[in-house]
Amino acid sequence: MSHNNQKKIAVINDFCGFGRCSVSVSLPVISAMKIQCCPVPTVIFSNHTGFESFYYTDFTSHLEAYIAEWEKLGLRFDGILTGFFGSRKQVDIARSFIGRFRAERAAVTVDPVMGDYGRLYPTYSEHLAEYMSSLVGLADILTPNLTEACILTGTEYRESMRETELQGLCEKISAMGPGKIVISGLELGDELGNFVFERGKPSRMVTEHRAGPYRSGTGDVYASIIAADAVNGVDFSESVRHASRFVAKCIRRTEELRIPRTDGICFEEFLKEL
């Protein structure tokens, strides 16, 4: 009998009780894809920071004891997915976790949640953004938006970039470690683009019709599908198409239901399709 007979992904991210983001998104999505999801909560929120008011507690001081119990159980993970970090200490814990629990041939997916629209998030410092490169170096797959790709490479942000420029960004990031990169959410008129880079293969743009405005937690749904597909052995380009189609379908349904933008996307409506 072993705890490691079933595929498992560890998700190192904050937990949000309401608002459909981070761990509360990854748990159902990854589970629906027939993989056990094991959360490592960095911060616990009543509802996410996009609301006017929220309660939170930082879980950092508890993480080493929490993780030590998993080590006693001899757990190994076929995939590890990381999201938002609030401090260098949390990044260091994630780096240590990867070294201690990563199974042979496990896929490490890093979603470098740092900013959007050319700016860092208010809770994110430039110093912490620079330090993220130490975690990026351990990733097999990276899922940045254009802002985050520019931050990681020290490139001046522009809303629109040619594919040759996107290729250059990916090559710089890949030199840090990741062999697979998708720059998501690219504005292409009525389409949203996802630039897919895979070391040793031709790059390509995967597009999906824009289904509605950006919503909280969309990237968490996207990255969770990418991480689970990697563990299930799905081709990377097909995984990007899978995630893009699913997110677009969920956004369309969310718009039909007139759900507030803070409340995320109604992925529950289509979980059985994953």
Question: Residue 145 carries which side chain, given as an amino acid letter?
Answer: N
Q: In this structure, which topology does domain 8-267 adopt according to CATH?
A: UDP-N-acetylmuramoyl-L-alanine:D-glutamate ligase (3.40.1190)
Give the DSSP H or E segment for 196. strand 191-198
Contact indicator for 110, 142 with CB cutoff of 8 Å: yes
Q: Is the pLDDT of residue 124 over 90?
A: no
Estimate the crossing angle of helix 88-101 against helix 60-72, to 10 degrees: 10
12-31 pLDDT, tens digit per residue, is 999 999 999 999 999 999 99
Where along the chain do its domains lie?
Answer: 8-267
| Per-residue pLDDT, 210 | 83
**pLDDT category, 190, cuts 50, 70, 90?**
confident
**pLDDT category, 123, cuts 50, 70, 90?**
confident
Contact indicator for 152, 133 with CB cutoff of 8 Å: yes
| Per-residue pLDDT, 211 | 80
CA–CA separation, 206 and 198 (whole Å): 13
Q: How many CB atoms lie within 10 A of CB 223?
A: 29
Strands 36-47 and 8-18: parallel
Residues counted in the chain: 274
The reply to whether the predicted model has a pTM over 0.85 is: yes
